[in-house]
Structure 1
Amino acid sequence: MPSFDSHHQPDGRLLQSGVKFTVIPETLQSPFKDHFPAYYKGLVRAEPGGFVIHPKFVNNAEKIYNMKVRSDDVWIRTFPRSGTTWTSELTWLIMNDCNFEEAARVGQPIRSPNLDANYINHWDKFAAEGSFDTMDIITIDEIEKMPSPRVLKCHLPFDLLPPNLLDTAKVIYVARNPKDAIVSLFYFHKLVNLCTFTGDLETFVDYFLDNKVLWTPYFGTVLDAWGKRSHPNLLILFYEDMKKDIRAQIKRISTFLNKPVTPEQIEKLVDHVRFDKFSKNESVNYTKEIKAGVGKDDPNNTFVRKGQTGGWKNHFSPEVNRKIDEWIAKNLEGTGLKFVTELNDQ
C-alpha cells in the first residue's frame, strides 16, 4: 500500500481498512486558511463517515487500525471537549486501585495516552521552528508496549479503530450536549497553537456545522456509539449526568469495569475531580505543555476551562442558537437520543 509522508497530501487512495482519505479543497483556500493558519496543509475527510482529521493522521491510520487490542484494555472515546480528561482520570484510578500517588507523579498524557494526539498537526515542524519545546507524546509503538491494564483514549470513530475493539475490550463513550461542546472546542482552538483559530465564535459555528473543523462531524461518532449502546462491552456516559451526580457515574464505571470501589474511595475520587482542584492539577491540566509553547498562557482560557453545562447561553446569539437547534433536531430525528443543555445545580 502506498504511504503518505508529511510532504504529500492524500489523493483519494484506499487504505487497507477500506477507508479513503481525500483533501477538503476549501481548507487549502481562503478564508479557511486565514482562519486556521496552523493547518497549512489543510484537512482531510475520511469516507465512509466523513470524519475530518489532519493529513498527518493518514500515515498512521493503518497502524492504529491494526493495533493489538487486549482483553483488559479500557478505551475511552469522546467527541473532543466532552469530558475526556475527566473520565480518563476516574477510569485510570478505578483500574489502578485508586493509586492517587502514582496519578500525581505521572501525567495523564503518559499513563492514559490519546491515540490521535500526535496527528492533529505536524508537531516536528512547530518544534523545529521553536514554537514550543519537544513534548513527551506517546507514539502508537510505545502504546503497544505499555503494561496492562491500559486506559487509552481517542476521538476517532469506530471505523478507524481496530475492528475487534468492541468485542475484545471495554469501551466507554462520553457524550456532551453539542452546544457546550462547540463553545469548548472554540476556546480550545483559541488556546492550542497547533490548531489556532483567528475568527469569532459565529464563524467557528459555521465551520463546525459544515463539518470543516477537526474531529467533526459531531453526530458521526456520537450516533455511531449510540447505535451500539446495547453491546455489553460499551458503556455510554453523559457529561451532564456526571455533573449532576458524579457518585452515581463513578459507581456505573466501577460496575462496568468489574473493579469495586469502597464508599471511602468514592469520596476520594469525588474530591480528586472536584473542579477547583482538577483545574489546578498539573497532572491533568497540561500546564507544563502550555508553558512550553503548545498553548497560549492565558489565565482566562485554560485546558480545564469552566466545566459547566449551559455556558453556551452566554455565547450564542438568538440567530446562531436557532441555527444550532435546527441542526440538532435534524440529526437526532428518529434516534431516541436527547441532550440536557442546562442544569440548575452543578
Structure 2
Amino acid sequence: MAAPEAGTPDASAKKRPVYQDDEFWEDHKGCLVPLPWTLSLPQVDEFEAHDGDICVVSFPKSGTGWLSAVVLMIANDADAACLHAGKPVQVMVPMLEQVLPTEIQHPELRNIHKLKNMQGPRLYATHLSKDSLPKPVVEKAKVIYIYRNPKDVMVSMYHWLRGLRAVGFDRDIRYLVDEMVKPQGKIMYAPYFDNIAGYWKIRNQPNIFVCSYEQMRKNFHASVKELATFLGKELSDEQIQRICHECSFAEMQANPVTNRQERDHVVGVYDSQISPYIRKGAVGKWHDTMDEESSKKIDEWIQQNLSRPDLIDFGFEFE
C-alpha cells in the first residue's frame, strides 16, 4: 500500500502553547485533540474512505504502533521486507490527523493532504473517537480498534509525554491520573471511556474488529490469525509465525523502522534518550510506577464507567 513521505525540519517554528495551557486543546466533537494536530481537523472532517481502506484506531498508548506493524505485515502477505525497507512504520501507516512541528507552516506535507491524494486502498491510523472520525471511514473502511487497561495506558503515556519535545509536559503520573478521571481532564483524546464505547457499540458491524492489548499479548499467534481472516488474508502458519516474530517487542525495539528513533530525532518530535518510544510493552507494569492512591482512584473510576449502557459486556484484564 502507498504511503506519504515524512516532512523536513522547519527552523521558523514559533513558541506555541504547551500541555498545561487551555489553548493547547480543542474539543473536536467530544474528543480532546492537542496542538498542533488540531490544525488538520477541518481537512480530516472532509476525508473520504476508499474501498479497501484499513484504519487502525486506538486511544493513545494502547498499542497503535504495535498493531500498525502487525496489520502492515498482514497486508503485505507476511513479507518481512515491509518492516526493513527504510521507511518507518509511522510513515507507511500514517496517523490521519497528525501534524508534526515541521508541518505547521506547510499543510502540503501533512498526512491528511497526502492521504487525500493517494489512489486505491490506503492504510492509516487515528486516535479519534468514533463520533469525531469521518463517517465514511466508520462505514466503509475496515476499522481495527485496540484498547488497553487504563493503568498501563497511564504509565505508558507518562513516559511518552516526558519524551515529547514540543509538548512541555513537566508533571508527575499522579497529575495524569487526576486529569484522566476528571470529566473534562487534560488528556489527549479524552474522554477515555467515550473513545472505547463508541467502537464497542459497533463491534458487531462486519467492517469493525475490536481487540484488547492484553489478549494480543497473551495469544499473539491466534490474534494475528483472527486479524488476517478479518482482512481477507489466508496466511499459512509459517506466515503467521513470521509476523509474530517480526512484531515481537524485542524485534521492534531493535528495528529502526519500528522504534522511531531515527525519524523522530530528524523531525525533532521525540527524545528517546528520556524514554524510548518502544519500552517494555508488558502487561501490569503499572505496579512499578503508580502509587496505591492513584490506583484506587482509577479502580473507582473504572467501576463507575463499566455500568454505562454503552459498555455492556465490556471489561479489562489486569495483572
**TM-score, structure 2 normalization:** 0.86
1:338 paired residue number: 315
Alpha-carbon separation, structure 2, partners of 1:282 and 1:40: 35
Alpha-carbon separation, structure 1, partners of 2:124 and 2:103: 23
Q: CA deviation at 1:57?
A: 4.2
**Mean Cα deviation higher: 207-216 or 305-314:** 207-216
What are the equivalent positions in structure 2 for 1:220-299 lying under 5 Å apart? 220-292=194-266, 293-298=268-273
1:74 paired residue number: 54
Alpha-carbon separation, structure 2, partners of 1:327 and 1:253: 31
Q: Is the 8 A contact 1:82 1:174 kept in 2?
A: yes
Q: Deviations over 1:64-87 (max 9, x none)?
A: 122120110010100011111111
Q: Deviations over 1:195-217 (max 9, x none)?
A: 23111111221122222122211
Matched, 1:83 2:57: no
Matched, 1:176 2:148: yes
1:114 corresponds, among 91, 95, 100, to: 95
Alpha-carbon separation, structure 1, partners of 2:301 and 2:193: 10
Distance 1:138 1:43, change over 3 A: closer
What are the equivalent positions in structure 2 for 1:186-197 lying under 5 Å apart? 186-197=158-169
Distance 1:196 1:260, change over 3 A: farther
Q: Hey, which bits of structure 1, 4+ residues long, moved more than 3 A?
A: 55-59, 122-125
1:312 paired residue number: 286
Distance 1:40 1:297, change over 3 A: farther
Q: Is the 8 A contact 1:45 1:53 kept in 2?
A: yes
1:46 paired residue number: 28
2:76 paired residue number: 96
Distance 1:97 1:146, change over 3 A: farther
Alpha-carbon separation, structure 2, partners of 1:246 and 1:40: 40
Alpha-carbon separation, structure 2, partners of 1:140 and 1:149: 15
Computing the radius of gyration from Cα coordinates, the structure with the larger value is 1
Unaligned 5+ segments in structure 2 are 1-12
Q: Is the 8 A contact 2:103 2:110 kept in 1?
A: no
Secondary structure of 1:241's partner? helix
Alpha-carbon separation, structure 1, partners of 2:197 and 2:109: 30
Identity of aligned residues (%): 27
Q: Is the 8 A contact 2:40 2:99 kept in 1?
A: no
Q: Is the 8 A contact 2:93 2:125 kept in 1?
A: yes
Q: Deviations over 1:110-142 (max 9, x none)?
A: 2110112217xx5457xx9xxxxx9x9642121
Q: CA deviation at 1:232?
A: 1.0
Alpha-carbon separation, structure 2, partners of 1:328 and 1:269: 33
**Mean Cα deviation higher: 137-146 or 169-178:** 137-146
2:9 paired residue number: none
Q: CA deviation at 1:289?
A: 3.0
Alpha-carbon separation, structure 2, partners of 1:76 and 1:207: 26
Secondary structure of 1:85's partner? helix
**Mean Cα deviation higher: 52-61 or 95-104:** 52-61
Q: Is the 8 A contact 1:108 1:283 kept in 2?
A: yes
Unaligned 5+ segments in structure 1 are 1-5, 10-27, 129-133
Secondary structure of 2:72's partner? helix
Alpha-carbon separation, structure 1, partners of 2:150 and 2:280: 16
Q: CA RMSD in A?
A: 2.5
Secondary structure of 1:172's partner? strand
Structure 2 letter corresponding to 1:199:
R
**TM-score, structure 1 normalization:** 0.80
Structure 2 letter corresponding to 1:338:
G
Q: CA deviation at 1:308?
A: 0.7
Matched, 1:157 2:129: yes
Aligned length: 298
Q: CA deviation at 1:337?
A: 0.9
